[in-house]
Amino acid sequence: QETATPAPGGATPPAAQKKLSVGFSQVGAESAWRTAETKSIRGEAEKRGVDLKFADAQGKQASQIQALTSFIAQKVDVIVLAPVVETGWEVVLTQAKEAKIPVILVDRGIKVSDESLYTTLIASDFVEEGRMAAEWLAKQTNGKANIYELQGSTGAAPAIDRKKGFEEALQKFPDMKIVKSQSADFTRAKGKEVMEAFIKSDRDQIQAVYAHNDDMALGAIQALDEAGMNPGKTVTLISIDGVKGAFEAMVAGKLNATVECNPLLGPLVFDTINKVRAGESVPKFIKSQDQLFEQANAAQVISTREY
């Protein structure tokens, strides 16, 4: 059996002499955002002397289900799950429920018929993020803009929800329209490539760019720069996530705003675990603090950015 680093004397969980054991099933390490999340949860576990069993699913749901099954077999106290997709969790979560192991979802919700299968969800609201982005953009452009959208991976929940929220909010602004919308797979390279294609076909009409994550926006900025188009000035860019690179771009005046989607969930997760184990009731959806940053306040926050 694997054991984590020995517990430092510090904060002990209220419930037991025995070390708290937590199983954490992570999706993988496909983005900086996710690595930051993993780091935050691992760091917090170490700090609090929790025995954290970590399973990297390499992006496969089957692996996550196996990980959960083995956590249940190993009788962990709590399961933390960052689900790779929203569906398909009924069976394994029922097992967890039967074994009386509370399940805490992080960063994305799931669709199950029985809400009691998980204890709580700690995450940002993707739809809300999209909405915030749209409203800010409308304000910034006085409700009138040709928008080019860089979508995340086709079929991925954040991509779908961020698009949905954004479009919903745009309803109120008849002069704001999405001219083109293409998937750029959440990556910088693709973001640049797709932006280049947009520039070549619609160069002078591009007034605003909305990217589902910062990486794609950074790629787009590069494309705009190379085309001599002045990102941040003639073209307004807004993206989501709030990674360090985005703040640097804002300080440089190239990115206009980013909606933070905070991956540093560690403290919140373990606080919640403690509450659950102490028998306190917790809300079904704990929204992590999402905040919109603009160029104006970017410089102050940039030093505090960890990822």
Partner 1 sequence: MSFLRKHITVLAGLLAYLVLYAIAAARYDGFLSLPVFINFLSNNAVLGIVAVGMTFVILSGGIDLSVGAVMSFSSVLIGVLIMDHQWNVFAAVGASLVCGTTLGAVMGAIIHKTGIKPFIVTLAGMFFVRGLAFIIHLESIAIAAPQHTSIAIMRVGPLPVTAVLFLTFVAVAWYVAVLTPFGRNVYALGGGEEAAMLMGLPVQRTRIAVYAVSGFCASFAGAALTFYLSSGSHLEGVGMELDAIATVVIGGTLLAGGVGSVFGTLVGVLMLGLILTSITTYEGMMSSGLTRVAIGALLLSFVMLQKLLTRRIAGAGRAT
Partner 2 sequence: MRHRNFWPLVALAALLVFNLIFTTGFARVEFRDGRLFGTLVDIFQNGAPVMLLAVGMTLVIALGGIDLSVGSVMALSGAVAALLMTEHGQSVPMGVLAALGVALIVGAINGALVSYASVQPIIVTLVTLVMGRGLAQALTQDQKIRFEIPAFEFIGNGTVLGLPFPVLLVAAVAVAVSVLLRRTATGLYIEAMGGNPQAARLCGLRVHVIRMLAFMACALCAGLAGLIAAADIKEADVANAGLYLELDAILAVVLGGTSLTGGRANLVGSLIGATFIQTLTIMLQMRGVITEHTLIIKAIVALTVCFMQTPSFERMVRRLRPAEGA
Please report, as ranges, the residues that interact with partner 2 according to CB under 8 A: 28-32, 35, 38, 151, 154, 179-183, 185-189, 192-194, 196-198, 200-203, 215, 218-219, 222, 226-228, 245
Between CA 201 and CA 197 the distance in angstroms is: 6
Is 5 a binding residue for partner 1 by CB under 8 A? The answer is no
Q: Would you say 40 or 146 has its CB closer to partner 1?
A: 40
Number of residues that bind partner 1 (CB under 8 A): 38
CB of 212 to partner 2, least distance (A): 13
Of 79 and 145, nearer to partner 1 (C-beta) is: 79
- Cα–Cα distances (Å) from 240 to 126, 127, 167, 264, in that order, read 9, 11, 15, 15
Which one of partner 1, partner 2, none is in contact with 61 (Cβ closer than 5 to 8 A by kind)? partner 1
Q: How far apart are CA 288 and CA 276, in angstroms?
A: 17
Q: Which is nearest to 33 in space by CA: 217, 186, 193? A: 186
- Partner whose footprint covers residue 5, from partner 2, partner 1, none (CB < 5 to 8 Å by kind): none
- How far is it, in rounded angstroms, from Cα 13 to Cα 3? 17
- Residue 176, strand partner residues: 145
If one asks whether residue 17 binds partner 1 (CB under 8 A), the answer comes out as no
User: Which of partner 2, partner 1, none does 203 bind, CB closer than 5 to 8 A by kind?
Assistant: partner 2
Ranges within 47-106 binding partner 1 (CB under 8 A): 53-63, 65-67, 69-70, 73-74, 84-91
Give the single-character DSSP code of 63.
Answer: H
Give CA angle at 169 (106, 283), nearest 5°. 30
Measured in whole angstroms, the distance separating CA 291 from the mean position of its chain's CA atoms is 13
* Partner that binds at residue 70, options partner 1, partner 2, none, CB closer than 5 to 8 Å by kind: partner 1
Looking at the Cβ atoms of 162 and 188, the one nearer to partner 2 is 188
Distance CA 211, CA 221 (A): 11
Q: DSSP readout, 214-230?
A: HHHHHHHHHHHHHTT--
Closer CB to partner 2, 104 or 195, in the complex = 195
CA-to-CA distance for 208 and 145, rounded, in angstroms?
6
Partner that binds at residue 90, options partner 1, partner 2, none, CB closer than 5 to 8 Å by kind: partner 1
Nearer of residues 26 and 119 to partner 1, judged by Cβ: 26
Which partner in partner 1, partner 2, none is near 99 (CB below 5 to 8 A by kind)? none
113 binds, among partner 1, partner 2, none (CB under 5 to 8 A by kind): partner 1
Q: Where are the alpha helices (DSSP H) in the chain?
A: 32-48, 61-73, 90-98, 126-140, 157-170, 188-202, 214-226, 244-251, 266-277, 295-301
Query: In terms of CB distance, is 154 or 304 closer to partner 2?
Result: 154
**Residue choice 7, 32, 112, 227 for contact with partner 1 (CB under 8 A):** 112
CB closer to partner 2, 7 vs 179 = 179
Q: Which is nearer to partner 1, 69 or 140 (CB)?
A: 69
Q: How many residues are listed for the chain in this entry? A: 307
Cβ atoms of residues 239 and 217 within 8 Å: yes
193 makes contact, choosing from partner 2, partner 1, none, with CB < 5 to 8 Å by partner type, with partner 2
Residue 277, token pair as written in the block: 């184990």
Which residues form the interface with partner 1 (CB under 8 A)? 1-2, 28-29, 42, 53-63, 65-67, 69-70, 73-74, 84-91, 111-113, 154-155, 157, 160
